[in-house]
Amino acid sequence: MSEGRAQARVNVAAIERNCARLCSQLRSGAELCAVVKADGYGHGAVQSARGALAGGATWLAVAGSHEARELRDAGLNERVLVMGALTMVELEEALASDADVVVWNQHYLQAVVAAGGGRVHVKLDSGMGRLGTRDPAEASRLAAVARDTPGVRLSGLMTHFATADDLADDGFFAGQLATFMDWAQPLKDDDPDLVVHAANSAAMLRDADSQLDMVRCGIAVYGMDPFGRDPAARGLEPALELSTYVADVKDTKQGESAGYGRRFIAEHDTFVGVLPIGYGDGWRRGLSNNADVLVAGHRYPLVGTVSMDNITVDLGLDPNARGLRGERAILIGFQGSERITAEEVARRLDTINYEVTCGLTPRIPRTYHRDGTPIDVAATPAPTRTVDTSPT
Ligand SMILES: *Cc1c(COP(=O)(O)O)cnc(C)c1O
385 pLDDT higher than 70: no
* pLDDT tier for residue 3 given thresholds of 50, 70 and 90: confident
| Cβ neighbours of 249 (radius 10 Å) | 19
- State if residue 200 touches ligand 1 by the CB under 6 angstroms criterion: yes
- State if residue 22 touches ligand 1 by the CB under 6 angstroms criterion: no
Q: CB within 8 A of 272, min separation 6: which ones? A: 249, 250, 252, 258, 264, 266, 303, 312, 313, 314, 315
pLDDT score at 2: 53
Domain 12-222 has CATH 3.20.20.70: no
Whole-structure pTM over 0.85, yes or no? Answer: yes
388 pLDDT higher than 70: no
Q: What angle do CA 103, 108, 111 make, to 5 degrees?
A: 125
Residue 227 in contact with residue 29, Cβ under 8 Å?
Answer: no
As to burial, measured by CB atoms within 10 angstroms (0-12 exposed, 13-18 middle, 19+ buried), residue 384 is exposed
Q: CB within 8 A of 378, min separation 6: which ones? A: none
Q: Which of 201, 194, 124 is nearest to 155 (CA)?
A: 194
* DSSP-H helix ranges across the chain: 12-24, 37-41, 45-54, 65-73, 88-96, 106-114, 136-148, 171-190, 201-206, 342-349, 353-358
- For atom 4 of ligand 1, the residue with the nearest CA is 218
Q: How far apart are CA 210 and CA 392, in angstroms?
A: 40
- State if residue 160 touches ligand 1 by the CB under 6 angstroms criterion: yes
The 10s digit of each residue's pLDDT in 66-89 is 999 999 999 999 999 999 999 999
pLDDT score at 169: 83
pLDDT score at 325: 97
pLDDT score at 339: 97
Pocket test for ligand 1, best of 216, 217, 234 (most atoms within 8 A of CB): 216
pLDDT score at 391: 44
pLDDT score at 377: 83
The full length of the chain comes to 392
State phi, psi for 286 to the nearest 5 degrees. Answer: -65, -10
The 10s digit of each residue's pLDDT in 4-15 is 999 999 999 999
Could you give the count of Cα atoms lying within 13 Å of 189 in the half-sphere of its Cβ? 6
The 10s digit of each residue's pLDDT in 325-362 is 999 999 999 999 999 999 999 999 999 999 999 999 99
Q: What's the CATH code, domain 240-375?
A: 2.40.37.10
Distance 218 CA to ligand 1 centre (A): 6
278 pLDDT higher than 70: yes
pLDDT score at 378: 75
- Using DSSP, how many helices (H) and how many strands (E) does the chain show? 11, 21
Atom of ligand 1 nearest to the CA of 131: 13
Distance 360 CA to ligand 1 centre (A): 19
* pLDDT tier for residue 383 given thresholds of 50, 70 and 90: low
Q: How far apart are CA 92 and CA 279, in angstroms?
A: 36
Pocket test for ligand 1, best of 26, 31, 35 (most atoms within 8 A of CB): 35
Distance 215 CA to ligand 1 centre (A): 9
- State if residue 219 touches ligand 1 by the CB under 6 angstroms criterion: yes
192 pLDDT higher than 50: yes
189 pLDDT higher than 80: yes
Report, as an integer, the average pLDDT of 384-390: 48
Domains of the chain by residue range: 12-222, 240-375
